[in-house]
Amino acid sequence: MKIIRAESLGMCFGVRDAIALALEQADAGPLTILGDLVHNTTVAAALQARGIAVAHAAAEVQTQTVMVTAHGASDRALANVRALGLNVVEATCPLVHAAHRAVAALVRDGYHPIIIGQRAHVEVLGLTEDLDGFDVVLDEEDVLALDEHPRMGIAAQTTQPLEKVQHLVALIRRRFPQADVRFIDTVCQPTKQRQGAALELARQCDVVIVIGGANSNNTRELVNTCRHECSRVHHVQTDLDLRPEWFREAQTVGITAGTSTPDDVIDRVDQRIRELADQQAGPGGAHARGRARARSDQ
């Protein structure tokens, strides 16, 4: 059984920087993170082991310093936290900040903002909470429910697949041919890299394992992308989720991972798959294995 990794996979620079900042702040004094720093239970457990608290509302914070997650927050939300007298540290990914600037530019230029993404996702909430009027769409049904505006400006949650975003933009333009529709591409480069690499990986494999948090949007989107090209795709959070039956009669197994998945988690999944392959081959079994080197997006 051959085991290969996607050329681009795993933790992005925004997540690495957010984790490093949280650890630095925790060394300086008690710290609470407002929400999940990233959507990965392994990362969350590691942070809590360092004494970092988590609160899901500002009123619950019991430390003087509070950190905003990598997903960002609205100016309104930040002001509410500061009004409580708390010191606010932002771990917001720079590419999320870029999405905020893009939406603000659309509004400033007189466009009705439309965000392509998950309505209840923390990043989308951060993008929309300062707006007086907006729409959020995720599929064709949402586009059909839109009202027409003379000028319609579109941006996207940074972890949405670009292909889906472009499809919905085209639908909006076809539905409202008289409107001035402006699209700003806010899908982040790490997401684009991992989506493209996952698609190429899935074309080569009998089985694909996608590693990432259960609540991670970009990981779920990797799963959906791989399923376009491979019928046997499995989403796991750690090596403990792997099942031997997934790999029966598999010739080539691919591994990819979401942008909040630590390197050591990927390595443990890789190693466990190799162990399962050895067990299935039995004594004396030989396996030709290869692994493409994962490239860093930093």
CA 40 to chain CA centroid, Å, is 10
Tell me which amino acid residue 64 is. Q
- Strand 87-90 and strand 135-137: the pairing is unpaired
Tell me which amino acid residue 104 is. A
Angle (CA) 166-171-174 rounded to 5° is 125
Q: Where are the beta strands (DSSP E) in the chain?
A: 2-5, 31-34, 53-55, 65-68, 87-90, 112-116, 135-137, 151-156, 180-183, 207-211, 233-236, 252-257
- Whether 128 contacts 136, CB under 8 Å: yes
- Does the active-site annotation cover 163? no
Q: Give 27's Cβ-side CA count (13 Å radius).
A: 6
Could you tell me the two tokens for 145? 């429910």
- The one catalytic residue among 123, 140, 229, 275: 123
**Which backbone phi and psi does 160 adopt, to 5 degrees?**
-80, 145
Indicate which residues carry an active-site annotation: 123
